[in-house]
Chain A
């Protein structure tokens, strides 16, 4: 039987899709699998070590002199959660990742002490809220959706930490710039970079734990 143009185009699209995303690993819609937990804890621990020990802020201090400028790279604290979410599509895993990351940061002597675990929980909470809102408005898988969700996940830690550190005496424009930078960092690092890394990992054959809807 001869295929029409539409069927040929569909077949071609399916082939391209399969090449792009290999369906691998455990496919589970609701339940948490061992692979979910392994991803969450390994990537959380990795994030905790990297976030604590690598001074990313030096990348900013060289060319942006004002206090709060380091918020431009603050997204590296949350990107781990967005990668795990991309691989598993389960929002609980965002919490597992961030809490294990917070625990590591605490054990590595973070200045905020036990509060750093709460800060990580808060970041996870707002990232999940961001993804939920984006899914509701039909932007759950787009760059825009991931960007805004990432920005939402990263912005609230900045005022929280500045309030905890009682930085009332700093000029309001520095506060405003810090929060805008935190949001932008969330968009670019947590959202867009996280999405790109997730896509590349899936293309490379890293097992996913969710059902691809074709």
Chain B
């Protein structure tokens, strides 16, 4: 084997090993569940008295408050504003109906995590969810059609309820898998 090809081979092996270990590290460090059912969302964290996993069918049930075809306002990092129509289930109605909250709401915070390990930039105060039950939803439809590539679930917060300096687009977490309340 030529020396040059040998170096190429060694470099390829090193890059492959780096990718493998970084991948493993990300899974362990971020506690990723690669085998979680994509059609479900788990709500957990120290602010709750128990963990709950709900499927899309359960989320769509009448047990929880459904928000149908509501227009949500967003702003992205370039401060471009736009509207999207979503249907989903009110997050507050789930927390209330399942009697999940453990502790004082004003000191609890929530954040969204996607299956791709993207998460909302900051943990926000849970009182936002309580005060605006229809403006914080777990969406399953966009413009009347089920969410496809970015779904099947997505967190949606209206820009109007976010603190200054936060962008609604960054809290609209696609492939939603977990909601952590702590």
- Chain A contacts to B: CB under 8 angstroms: 55, 58, 61, 65-67, 69, 111-113, 144, 164-166, 168-171, 173-174, 176-177, 180, 184
Q: How distant is B39 from chain A, measured CB to nearest CB, in Å?
A: 15
What 0/1 pattern do residues 43 to 68 of B give for CB contact below 8 A with A? 00000000000000000000000000
Known: A55-B149, A66-B23. 16 other contacts (CB 8 A): A65-B32, A66-B26, A66-B32, A112-B78, A113-B78, A144-B8, A166-B77, A168-B121, A169-B122, A170-B119, A171-B26, A171-B117, A173-B22, A173-B25, A180-B18, A184-B15
Give the residues in chain B near A65, CB-CB below 8 Å: 32, 34, 115-117
B118 & A170 in contact (Cβ 8 Å cutoff): yes
Q: Does B19 contact A (CB under 8 A)?
A: yes
8 cross-chain pairs, A with B, having the tightest CB-CB distances, nearest first = A67-B116, A173-B26, A67-B118, A169-B121, A173-B22, A173-B25, A177-B22, A66-B117
Q: How distant is B47 from chain A, measured CB to nearest CB, in Å?
A: 20
Q: Does B30 contact A (CB under 8 A)?
A: yes
B117 & A174 in contact (Cβ 8 Å cutoff): yes
Q: Does B29 contact A (CB under 8 A)?
A: yes
Cα distance A174–B22 when bound, in Å?
A: 8
Give the residues in chain B near A61, CB-CB below 8 Å: 116, 149
Give the residues in chain A near B30, CB-CB below 8 Å: 171
A180 & B15 in contact (Cβ 8 Å cutoff): yes
Chain B stretch 74-132: residues in CB contact (< 8 A) with chain A: 76-78, 80, 114-119, 121-122
B121 & A174 in contact (Cβ 8 Å cutoff): no
Q: How distant is B125 from chain A, measured CB to nearest CB, in Å?
A: 17
B177: nearest chain-A partner, CB-CB: A65
Chain A contact residues: over half helix, strand or loop, or mixed?
A: loop
Cα distance A154–B23 when bound, in Å?
A: 21
Q: How distant is B11 from chain A, measured CB to nearest CB, in Å?
A: 10
Q: How distant is A178 from chain B, measured CB to nearest CB, in Å?
A: 10
Cα distance A113–B80 when bound, in Å?
A: 10
Cα distance A22–B34 when bound, in Å?
A: 52
What 0/1 pattern do residues 1 to 38 of B give for CB contact below 8 A with A? 00010001000000100110011011001101010000
A180: nearest chain-B partner, CB-CB: B19
Q: How distant is A116 from chain B, measured CB to nearest CB, in Å?
A: 12
Cα distance A165–B116 when bound, in Å?
A: 17
Give the residues in chain A near B80, CB-CB below 8 Å: 113
Give the residues in chain A near B114, CB-CB below 8 Å: 67
Give the residues in chain A near B170, CB-CB below 8 Å: 166
Known: A171-B29, A173-B22. A67 touches B117 (CB 8 A): yes
Cα distance A3–B99 when bound, in Å?
A: 96
Q: How distant is B71 from chain A, measured CB to nearest CB, in Å?
A: 20
- Could you say which of A65, A144, A174, A177 has the most chain B C-beta atoms within 10 Å of its C-beta? A65
A168: nearest chain-B partner, CB-CB: B121
Q: How distant is B29 from chain A, measured CB to nearest CB, in Å?
A: 7
Cα distance A66–B76 when bound, in Å?
A: 22
A165 & B26 in contact (Cβ 8 Å cutoff): no
| Interchain CB contact (< 8 A) of A165 among B4, B19, B77, B122 | B77
Give the residues in chain A near B149, CB-CB below 8 Å: 55, 58, 61
Give the residues in chain A near B23, CB-CB below 8 Å: 66, 177
B122: nearest chain-A partner, CB-CB: A169
Q: How distant is A109 from chain B, measured CB to nearest CB, in Å?
A: 11
A144: nearest chain-B partner, CB-CB: B8
| Interchain CB contact (< 8 A) of B116 among A69, A113, A176 | A69
| Interchain CB contact (< 8 A) of B26 among A166, A174, A180, A184 | A174
